[in-house]
Amino acid sequence: MLVMGNKITILGAGSWGTALAVHLAQKDYRVALWTRNEEYYNELITSRENRKYLPGIKLKENIDIYLDVQEAVKNSSVLILSVPSHAVRSTLKLVKSNLDKDTIIVNTAKGFEESTLLRLSQVIQEELDGHECVVLSGPSHAEEVSKFLPTAVVASSQNQSLAEDVQDLFMSSNLRVYTNPDLCGVEIGGALKNIIALATGIADGLGYGDNTRAALITRGLAEIARLGVALGANPLTFAGLTGIGDLIVTCNSMHSRNRRAGILLGQGLKLTEVLQKIGMVVEGVRTTKVALQLAQKVKVEMPITQEVYHVIYLDKDPRVSVYDLMGRQKTHEVEEVANSKINW
């Protein structure tokens, strides 16, 4: 059981890591927030504000800023990973020798490891054998959490007791936390929604309307669930916060960097130009490549994901992608759901 005297370490001082630090500090926990960038560290120390990612949000005095990662993790009861998905393994390699054996690992990154196609909890298990992992996921823009706007998320682990400890850690009057034992489904929903956000953004950039976005969200959810079930997920998970919930918020909000990136792609910019303009990690770009490989591996159709891949990596004209999606062989929605064993 976690108590107020416990040290909570957050690795990654981007928007989400900072928002979680602000949230936990409001609950009177002592929070260690680590960044690897010395210039950024100095700015955080001096201004007590994350001006790049969360301007206007002040860091309370019980948030300690660290540049030395070993000092940051020393004597921590909980280690929260808020680094990009591609940095999870390398970050764990930095700190694993200094972790206490009872330290709870909480992952908030959404994606896969590109080289292995592993979910991030599987990467954590490989690197930290003996440490159980809890995934915190759901429709939660950092900008809103840092302002204490009502939000609901999910804590998922194969260890229900551990998930409930993390539920208690984060639960507050403005952040409601549910638990879900379907770790596979929670991670897949959180990762793949970024692909559909890219797709809806592309449609917005092309000047299409609400009908198009609704179609992409709905059919996007169908292919997320299709792949998820093939990989062992519970289909009902995709009807929850980490499925349709995360999909709605990511596909409809300008807080979403994946949606903003999609809009720029739809307006004709190339990927390199888009990433330069966004200036932050766009997880959906890497996830698209991994998802397509996984779909091919388990023989699952993901037409929206395939077209997003073609636009991003093969410079396909987005309008041609829309034409190709609309011209696919006709099918029956209910029969398709039944055939994929998704019972909702």
Catalytic center residues: 193
Report which of 211, 202, 229, 243 is spatially closest to residue 302, judged by C-alpha positions. 229
Cβ atoms < 10 Å from Cβ of 30: 17
User: 3-class SS at 291?
Assistant: helix
Report the DSSP beta bridge partners of residue 134: 106
Torsion angle of the four alpha carbons 249, 325, 226, 252, in this order, in degrees rounded to the nearest 10:
0
Spatial contact of 211 and 218, defined as CB atoms under 8 Å apart: no
- Per residue in 109-142, is it b (16+ CB within 10 Å) or e — as a string? bbbbbeeeebbbbbbbbebbeebbbbbbbbbbbb
> What are 304's two structure tokens?
């929206």
Give the Å distances, CA to CA, from 28 to 24, 174, 322.
7, 15, 50
Judging by beta carbons within 10 Å of its beta carbon (0-12, 13-18, 19+), is residue 176 exposed, middle or buried?
Answer: middle
> Which stretches within 147-298 are classed as H helix?
160-170, 183-205, 210-230, 246-252, 257-266, 271-278, 283-298
Spacing of C-alpha 247 from chain mean position: 11
* End-to-end CA separation in angstroms for the chain: 36
Residue type, 302: M
**In contact, 14 and 35? CB cutoff 8 Å:** no
Residue 301, number of CB atoms within 10 A of its CB: 16
